[in-house]
Chains A and B, each alone.
Chain A
Amino acid sequence: MKRLPSVSLSVALTVLLAAGCAAGGQGNTETAQSGADDASSVVIAMGPTSEPEAGFDPAYGWGAGEHVHEPLIQSTLTVTNPDLTIGYDLATDYSASEDGLTWTVTIRDDVKFTDGEPLTAEDVAFTYNTVKESSSVNDFTMLDYAQAADDTTVLFHMTRAFSIWPYTMAIVGIIPEHAYDSATYGSNPIGSGRYMLRQWDRGQQVILEANPDYYGEAPKMQQVTILFMEEDAAFLAAQAGEVDLAYTSATYSDQAIDGYSLAAYDSVDNRGFNLPAVEEGTDDAGRTAGNDLTADVRVRRAVNIGIDRQEMIDNVLNGYGSPAYSICDRLPWYNEASEVEYDPEGAAALLDEAGWLLNEDNVREKDGVPAKLNLLYATGDSVRQALAADFADQLGELGISCTVEGVGWDTAYDRALSDPLIWGWGAHTPMELYNIYHTADGSGSARYSPYSNAAVDAYMDQALACSDLEESYELWQESQWDGQTGVTQGGDIPWVWLVNIDHLYWVRDGLQVAEQKIHPHGHGWSVVNNVDQWSWS
């Protein structure tokens, strides 16, 4: 009698296990069939977190935020080119005033929303003023207000100079002033982009249909169906031939699916550890901040060159990745001085020099204190966990003994102030450098990990105040390394970057996926940035 509940619980556990495996099998059969035989439609499997919770409303994060991508349904003023420089979508020209406080953008006059109304500068101004009011995922504090000068000219009045404004313009989809209701727009969006939303079944799928009146080149793919499913379900869906392109990860890369090939796209979706650059103490908010071991710049430099990144890629990512040396590898504002060679002897010498000497247990010690680090990773992310474990093994060889601990994001930010945490970054804007390395207002330290360098701050401030985008790239590069100081090996190295994770997809044979830009962080919508140019052969 007493055994019954325990037996039923174990049955429940088993059922849970089984349910997880089966979850994806239930996809929508209607869409599944239309997949391969129709030459102008494509079915794509993305992760469940890619589904926009608030719908397709740019004011509530569609296209923007942590995982940037092109909004597809809406047009943007600018776009990022394949090399991540700036190109035009709606805009025909833009310029900033000498003081950087006013941006003037002229737009095309031949664009119509899908309800037939023309898109004017009024709509653009309305969009930006709305987004500034309501966006919770993006920072729009640099914008004072937007104003339409005439039908095709928009003025952006800034609160401070912001040279990389064109990168912000690349992620804000333009919404129609005459048809915008914040309560319904998310599920019933009207835009002027390449696609229109035909159907959205929450928790299951989104169907996009080509916009017949699109002002640019007509989309080759007339219908794009996106299914949201877990990774194992996506794998099974590809195995069953139900999808044309399915996201996957290194875990599945040793598998093979008949009729599909594995495509790997370069990304700047990096993983790296913050190394608190000050000694342990308490910050203004009463949190423990700083780490006595990583406070020494020589230790941080030793860690940076003492890590065999390629081994990590082979071990954890099955070879699907590239070494990361900065938060922005291969982007226009990347400074190649960030790159370092793997040099374990050099690392050992640096640690010796810093006074951390090997004892008989092969652990380094200084004044009787052993060199120890507690490495944190976000619970539930097996790749980060494995990277952290590999990092710990490699540091162990250098004589730094490491423990690895899983933490939830509710506590991770605070914990990372004193213990290295494995992070994932990588965005299509230099602003990320600023967020990571620039001293935060009023605190005397950068936001995510204790660090501050006035020279680095100054370069970034200059870069933002600069009136020319090209020129600002150089300043961003100098903020990383100017020959004297910076955040690279020769400088303060307050973060150590490990790998850029290739984004992997199962692609049905015959599907020609157009050339991809370097993918940003987030394994979601960026793959369909140019789905309009995909084709079947």
Chain B
Amino acid sequence: MKNGNRRRNAAVFLICAAVILLAVTASGILLEEAAVETDFAEKNLPPSNRALFGTDWMGRDMFARTLAGLSLSIRIGVLTAVVSGIAALLLGIAAATLGRKVDAVISWCIDLVMGIPHILLVMLVSIACGRGFAGVVAGVALSHWPSLARVIRGEVIQLRQAPYILTADKLGVSRLKIVRRHMLPHIMPQFLIGMVLLFPHAILHEAGVTFLGFGLSSEQPAIGVILSESMGYLTTGKWWLALFPGAALVLVVLLFSVAGEYIRRLADPASAHE
């Protein structure tokens, strides 16, 4: 009885989270123009009914900027998580099924990438790719696949010894077909959960690298840009420039993170006993 409630609660939460995130993403896209529109007659306004989150030193509406920034972050997060996830899936399966040499090479790559601090790697790749949107996406995507790849590799290695896989092999089913028909469906839950849990990382790293000046260009309404701009104004008491965008970023990240946990509960009920 209790379990049933939890599953239903999880499902309700997931739907709510998805609706919120979609709403933020969509409204951010719609507000993109408003987010960069300057109005010097309305600069440095504290939060009020007129400007919910206040305005900055160029009179830009912080509410529009926050939503546009979150939207941009979420879209980059989705893009990079998908790219990373697919890379992890392919490499994880390849390592586990294509023999020892391939496994050694891929495992070495995983160790290498995991050995470098994330933020540093993101910065380096981003600079190498010319910063901006392409730089950030490349940086985040190329640095976030190893942990998921390692999980998938482990799963597949375990799976290789499963009786039904061994049987299929003995019956002469081709390797590719085994992977497609028998392995992929099995690891799909772990893969999906892993990918959802990549979002918060991707978003925070995007914001972090942009904050440090190695990511998105400063005219874009990204959360990292907003936060780094706010730095110069905090000492003069303009707290709203940092508080709302920062809190909103944390909320979105938490939402993704908790949603990932709930998906795990739904897709992998056994983990509830861990």
Contact = CB atoms under 8 A, between A and B. Distances in A.
A pairs with B: yes
B218 A10 contact: no
Contacts of B235: 21, 232, 235-236, 252
B236 A252 contact: yes
B47 interface: no
Given A13-B227, A17-B242, A385-B218, A3 B200 contact: yes
B201 A5 contact: yes
Chain A: interface size category: 35 or more
A379 B213 contact: yes
Interface string A368-396: 00000000000110100110011001000
Contacts of B219: 385, 404-406
Nearest to B218: A406
A20 interface: yes
Interface in B38-59: 38, 40, 43-44, 57-58
Nearest to B219: A406
A484 interface: no
B95 interface: no
B9 interface: no
Contacts of A315: 40, 43
A21 B236 CA distance: 11
B40 to A, nearest CB: 4
B257 A389 contact: no
Nearest to B131: A408
B115 interface: no
Contacts of B174: none
Nearest to B118: A5
A231 interface: yes
Contacts of A407: 217
B139 interface: no
A251 B236 contact: yes
B204 interface: yes
B201 A389 contact: no
B232 interface: yes
A14 B243 CA distance: 11
A6 B253 contact: yes
B208 A9 contact: yes
Contacts of A406: 217-219
Interface in B223-250: 227, 229, 231-236, 242, 246, 249-250
A254 B236 CA distance: 9
A254 to B, nearest CB: 8
Interface string A69-112: 00000000000000000000000000000000000000000000
B201 A382 contact: no
Nearest to A393: B38
Interface residues of B, number: 37
A255 interface: yes
A316 B204 contact: no
A251 B204 contact: no
Contacts of B211: 13, 16
Contacts of B236: 235, 251-252, 254-255
Interface in A223-237: 231-232, 235-236
Interface string A403-443: 01111100000000000000000000000000000000000
Contacts of B88: none
Contacts of A379: 213, 217-218
Contacts of A255: 236
Contacts of A2: 197, 257, 260
Interface string A11-37: 011101100110000000000000000
A390 B40 CA distance: 8
Nearest to B261: A3
B41 to A, nearest CB: 8
Contacts of A12: 208
B207 interface: yes
Contacts of A235: 235-236
B152 to A, nearest CB: 15
Interface string A304-332: 00000000000110000000000000000
B200 A382 contact: no
A409 B55 CA distance: 28
B65 interface: no
Contacts of B40: 315-316, 390, 393
B139 to A, nearest CB: 15
By Cβ-Cβ distance, the 7 closest A-B pairs, closest first, are: A315-B40, A406-B218, A232-B235, A389-B38, A6-B200, A379-B218, A9-B204
Interface of B: 36, 38, 40, 43-44, 57-58, 118-119, 131, 197, 200-201, 204-205, 207-208, 211, 213, 217-219, 227, 229, 231-236, 242, 246, 249-250, 253, 257, 260
Given A232-B235, A386-B57, A405-B219, 8 more contacts: A2-B257, A232-B234, A251-B236, A382-B57, A389-B38, A390-B40, A393-B40, A404-B219
